[in-house]
Amino acid sequence: MRLLAVHAHPDDESSKGAATMAHYVRQGVEVMVATCTGGERGSILNAEMEGHPHAERDLTGLRRHEMAQAAAALDVDHRWLGFMDSGLPEGDPLPPLPWGCFALQPLERAAAPLVRLVRRFRPHVILTYDENGGYPHPDHIQTHNVSVEAFRAAGDPERYPGLGEPWTPQKLYYDRAFNLERFVALHEALEERGLQSPYAARIAMLQESDPEGHRPPAPRHETTTKVRCPDTFALRDEALRSHRTQVAPDGMFFAVSAELQSQVWPWEDYVLAESRVPTDLPEHDLFAGIVG
């Protein structure tokens, strides 16, 4: 079996579904991460790395090294799709996106490298973001667009000619790493133990509806699939720490120990968006219904 996870930037793979990928690697599944952009317009988000010579001189190059370390921690293969980060526009009104960036590419041009990769790697399952991108970053939304396009088109010999022999993936999932239910459960677990929770503001944000898309709205989908993977939470955390320019070691991702998470929320959550095989919901296995 083969699993392909499609992400927007280096570090997204470690904060969204990393334990699931490590879980399936342990079961003998071939797992690959495709990263659409190099995170070129990102910034240093970990205060401890401010002033670091490599980070200040060549943040994009350092992020490539971080991505390689994260992939090694998870024991997954990795491919860059080669597009330019679009950045996260801020302001009112929002400024235009930079010329040539990933989010502004026509769909067929943006999806072509992923279609080629799907035909070469031949995944049975593809993981990506929902139509809101998980949160409304233009690169995350475009990642959704190209993932859906590749899922639907890679098996059609009439589409994307010259990009390899057709291959039809069987299931497409949307990641729900930042779902409200999980944050509430972790928040309550911390408070019950007299520990400070960093999740209150995020919970309030997720409960609000923002028609302008300036804040993450409440998830649009309900969970269909819970993959139990507490034994690989530590590998997920190791992958997250690999992205040291982006992830602070005392930040939100590490507010709850892997041990406590294993007691409170020992799953990673997904939405079955499309399936070409019969399966009963709810699921506990991304490969349910697929015959090897």
* DSSP structure string for 83-121: EPP-----SSSPPPPPTT-GGGS-HHHHHHHHHHHHHHH
Is 144 annotated to bind a ligand? Reply is no
Mean pLDDT of the chain: 93
**Bond before 93 cis per omega within 30 degrees:** yes
Give the strand order in the sheet containing 267-275. Answer: 77-83, 30-37, 2-7, 125-128, 171-175, 267-275, 225-228
For 206, residues 6+ apart whose C-beta sits below 8 A from its C-beta are 178, 180, 183, 216, 217, 218, 219
Is the CATH code 3.40.50.10320 the one for domain 1-176+265-273? yes
* pTM: predicted TM-score of the whole model, two decimal places: 0.94
Residue 210's pLDDT is 52
Residue 213 pLDDT > 50: no
What are residue 176's phi and psi, to 5 degrees? -125, 45
Q: What is the mean pLDDT of residues 184-188?
A: 94
Most confident listed range (28-37, 207-216, 247-256): 28-37
Domain edges within the chain = 1-176+265-273
Q: What is the mean pLDDT of residues 106-128?
A: 98
Q: What is the mean pLDDT of residues 102-122?
A: 98
Residue 51's pLDDT is 92
Residue 201 pLDDT > 50: yes
Q: Nearest to residue 144, comparing CAs of 116, 107, 117?
A: 107
Is 9 annotated to bind a ligand? Reply is yes
Q: How far apart are CA 289 and CA 129, in angstroms?
A: 22
Residue 211 pLDDT > 70: no
Q: What is the mean pLDDT of residues 33-44?
A: 95
